[in-house]
Amino acid sequence: ETGVTQSPTHLIKTRGQQVTLRCSSQSGHNTVSWYQQALGQGPQFIFQYYREEENGRGNFPPRFSGLQFPNYSSELNVNALELDDSALYLCASSPGAAYTLTYEQYFGPGTRLTVT
Amino acid sequence: RKEVEQDPGPFNVPEGATVAFNCTYSNSASQSFFWYRQDCRKEPKLLMSVYSSGNEDGRFTAQLNRASQYISLLIRDSKLSDSATYLCVVTPRYYGGSQGNLIFGKGTKLSVKP
């Protein structure tokens, strides 16, 4: 167990709705990254938060947004859900400072989102 | 061209076989390299980091060739428990913006049969 938890485990939403996914990072970790993993694909980087600030973003539209809280837990919000948003959403926490180049990321179990 | 490309698989091998996974990456400035393992419907877990000098962990050996932008993973004496998807991962060089994100290949599925 990595100590990274995510909620909910599974979620079913309708196209056009909004969703909030939550992540609690491992104790002592100040950096959280979010990834989207579609079926049969590798995870794709959405964005990263370091000490409550966004610290990098992948190729995802603005309807994907996030927050990090003072306790370093994090939320991923997706507005105007589309069918293609159906995927496993993974968060990963890490202990490194924002500008550490090599550090291990510890993944949570993920939230499986289905959009119908 | 995808940033990280892996053998499409799947690989179906008998117990005890040696299996090799290959991976290439497109960004010559990539900084760090890893192999992750992902069991069915679970999260990815770090298997091992990959260094230019090559590194070994028990039955697992990883190699990096920066000149060819090529990474490999060798599993010797494969076990049933090695059945999983193996993900090749690189990180970009830090440019002051997006950094530290992991760039994953699509993964190669391995099934080890009795």
Chain A residues near residue B87 by CB distance under 8 angstroms: 42-43
Per-residue b or e along A32-63, where b marks 16 or more CB atoms closer than 10 Å to that residue's CB: bbbbbbeeeebbbbbbbbbeeeebbbbeeeee
Output the CA angle A46-A76-B86, nearest 5 degrees: 45
pLDDT, tens only, A44-60: 999 999 888 888 889 99
* Cβ distance of B104 and A103 shorter than 8 Å: no
Lowest mean pLDDT among B46-50, B87-91, B92-96: B92-96
pLDDT, tens only, B3-54: 899 998 899 999 999 999 999 999 888 778 999 999 998 999 999 989 888 8
Contact B71, B86 (CB under 8 A): no
Lowest mean pLDDT among A84-88, B9-13, B50-54, B74-78: B50-54
Predicted local distance difference test score (pLDDT) of residue B61: 97
| CA closest to A102 among chain B residues | B32
